[in-house]
Amino acid sequence: MAVRSSSGLVAYVNARLLDPATGLDAKGALLTNGETVADVGPGLFQGGVPSGIEVVDCQGHCLAPGLVDMRVQLREPGEEHKETLKSAGEAAVAGGVTSMVCLPNTTPVIDEVATVEFVARRARKIGLAKVYPYAAATKHLDGKELSEMGMLAEAGALAFTDGTRAIRNAQVMRRALGYAATFGLLIVQHPEEPSLAEGGMMSEGELATRMGLSGIPAAAEAIMLERDMRLVAITGGRYHAAHVSTAEGLDIIRKAKARGLPVTCDTAPPYFALNELAVGDYRTFAKLSPPLRSEADRQAVVAALKDGTIDAVASDHAPQDQDSKRVPFAAAEFGGVGLETLLPVTLELAHNGHLGLVEALKLITCAPAAILGLEGGRLRVGASADLVLFDPDFAWKVDAKAFRSKSKNSPFDDRPVQGVALRTVIDGRPVFLRDG
Amino acid sequence: MLLDLADGYVEQNRSLDKRKNLLRGRTVINLFFENSTRTRTSFELAGKRLGADVINMQSAGSSVQKGETLIDTAMTLNAMHLDVLVVRHPDSGAVKLLSEKVNCAVINGGDGSHEHPTQALLDALTIRRSKGKLSGLTVAICGDVLHSRVARSNIYLLNAMGASVRLIGPRTLLPSGVDRMGVEVFHDMRRGLENVDVIMMLRIQNERMRGNFIPSIREYFHFFGLDYEKLGRAKPDAVIMHPGPMNRGVEIDSDVADDVERSLIRSQVEMGVAVRMACLDMLTRHLPITEGAA
């Protein structure tokens, strides 16, 4: 496929260029010089590639910016038996992800400059997908004292969140938003009223009742979002709601945006591709947080993706080992892995006619990058050459056993999907090549 | 007016004979419901140098501690026939309540997070003696505005005197609506200090540092502590003030606080006595000469 050279120049020719930031969708070529994009466009190399330049024939496949996954749990440091920076890095590049933003819920918690630097340094050394940390919004994620947001941001923390825990105390949230706004920083919330979610295992409703499992009402999301919108209004702080899953929650975000509040949100593939029926048979791999919701909620998520209420899609990658999942439903941990299914499941939005291919891609490239102030997620001359070459139509069946991720807890196991990363490039270096 | 009068008292305080008998026979009581060294001593000196009888009452050990209400205290004081009452109280508005119940002149020595007018006056005198004027100057007030009575009084006074006021601090320490008090608000200290003439640092209460308002002292000092690097953004002749007591290494770097070229912090204490003398002087001019005339 490639002709080697030593010039440091690589030409990706015969590509379908997709750049969601500009809406570009055209046949063309891209040239990288060392670590950066040197040129890109439909007209490039029309007269052939000059000698001395390494050539990659894209065979008409899609060449796009590498995916930016704005919500992953990496488990290192502290729970390396579930996932490590290396195994997550391998899973990421196999899924076309070149940048991932990790939650601070490690052990120790990422609430100190030293931990931020540890994660960044370890990830750089591994050299796979780039890792950017969120730092804790409150020390030890215990929802009481603010973390040193200013200094953590200077050390490289992209935004602040208590991860899988909601910032529960309204006064603490108000101060967190206000303090973050001092420096123009973003607060990311897990929007779920903890007192309503406590003890709940799945979405509240008929199915939970039939299964005899305690439920988490959709109102838990709405109540927290409604409260937070009011706090955003009085503080002016930037706010991002993670993995919004309910129709009511999305309505609140939609209204807040219409009022001009500095609010964004994302969802994760399970919330537009699955509903609560996936937990039937007590499938613990579909025990997620927030829980999979009703079909009406799923449809509302799709509608919100179409109308722009939802800004981005994140994998919500949450590795759990067998011992955490092969237990009775009530005892099982929440979460599913998602790095290797982010691309194909998001592409379902295009295959099902809800969004165009470029629009669907935007949700996992330039849109999350813009929310977090990352430069990636677009094809821009001079920017880092973080790229994914993918075949959007290639049909395959998810096989969790084949995942690079150390944990195999996917809610999408056995799902027939379309779309696969063929080659992933980071800083001009090929870091993943699909066999065959 | 008051500041000119205070100017005169500065000279008197610097001379060998600091006493004047203007207030002979008058009684001044310093009624302090909150610990204070600087303000109480300053008022005490001011009263004594004008020849008044000055008595200090601290709430600790007094009948207030035994549960007496503020209004009962006022009645007790009325019975003692005093002329001026200086009050410091931890609750905003308490001084006003007391002033409505006593039949003597009352000076607010600082109430809660509301006002500390003599501090603003002494700050104005300090600036005027250093810069020759107040009008047209840009003054930055930095730090814990939320809890600061000094900041509120200074905002009113400096605005009245034609200075422009900037507030600098993290959002958690700037109270809501403060932007409508005739000030410019900054969250980036380096930008806020750009070209200012005067920098007023506010005291951060250490007990408030941990937890909700601010993550840590370390972080506070990094972004909002006055050091030479940040001072470099102000005018080359910008002066530094602090109402005291200072937390060195929290809101202000020791070297900056002690810089004789830039720091007016000691001068503020000196001006405090003079300003309080001027206040006592002016207030007693309007008091009835004989008891019971009011």
- pLDDT tens-place string over residues A99-117: 999 999 999 999 999 999 9
HSE at residue B249, side-chain half, CA atoms within 13 A, is 3
Identify the CATH number of the domain defined by range A65-372.
3.20.20.140
3-state secondary structure of A274: coil
Least CA distance to B186: which residue of chain A?
Answer: A182
B89 catalytic residue (yes or no): no
Query: What letter does residue B212 receive in the DSSP assignment?
Result: S
What is the enclosing helix (H) or strand (E) of A16?
strand A9-19
How distant, in Å, are the alpha carbons of A270, A312, A411, B98, B210 from that of A267? 8, 7, 15, 59, 34
Least CA distance to B210: which residue of chain A?
Answer: A145
Query: What letter does residue A280 receive in the DSSP assignment?
Result: G
Mutate which: B187, B191, B212, vs A, most A CBs within 10 A? B212
Q: Is the pTM of this model over 0.80?
A: yes
> From the candidates A111, A162, A266, A316, which is the catalytic residue?
A316
Q: What average pLDDT score do residues B22-45 get?
A: 92
Query: Which amino acid would we find at residue A306?
Result: K
Mutate which: A148, A173, A187, A230, vs B, most B CBs within 10 A? A148
User: What is the pLDDT at residue A1?
Assistant: 46
Sorted by sequence, the CB contacts under 8 Å of residue A42 that are 6+ apart come out as A17, A26, A27, A28
Q: Do B218 and A172 touch (CB under 8 A)?
A: no
B126 catalytic residue (yes or no): no
User: DSSP assignment of A139-167, as one string?
Assistant: GGGSSSSB--HHHHHHHT---EE-TTS--
Residue boundaries of the structural domains of chain A: 65-372
Q: Do B215 and A179 touch (CB under 8 A)?
A: yes
B39 catalytic residue (yes or no): yes
R_g over Cα of chain A: 21
CA-closest candidate to residue A368, choices A97, A136, A36, A89: A97
Q: For residue B287, what pLDDT band results from cuts at 50, 70 and 90?
A: confident
* Residue B225 in contact with partner chain A when CB distance is under 8 A: no
pLDDT in tens, chain A (436 residues): 455 555 689 999 999 999 999 999 999 999 999 999 999 999 899 888 999 999 999 999 999 999 999 999 999 899 999 999 999 999 999 999 999 999 999 999 999 999 999 999 999 999 999 999 999 999 999 999 999 999 999 999 999 999 999 999 999 999 999 999 999 999 999 999 999 999 999 999 999 999 999 999 999 999 999 999 999 999 999 999 999 999 999 999 999 999 999 999 999 999 999 999 999 989 999 999 999 999 999 999 999 999 999 999 999 999 999 999 999 999 999 999 999 999 999 999 999 999 999 999 999 999 999 999 999 999 999 999 999 999 999 999 999 999 999 999 999 999 999 999 999 999 999 999 998 6
User: What is the pLDDT at residue B60?
Assistant: 63
**Omega before residue B245 within 30° of 0, cis:** yes
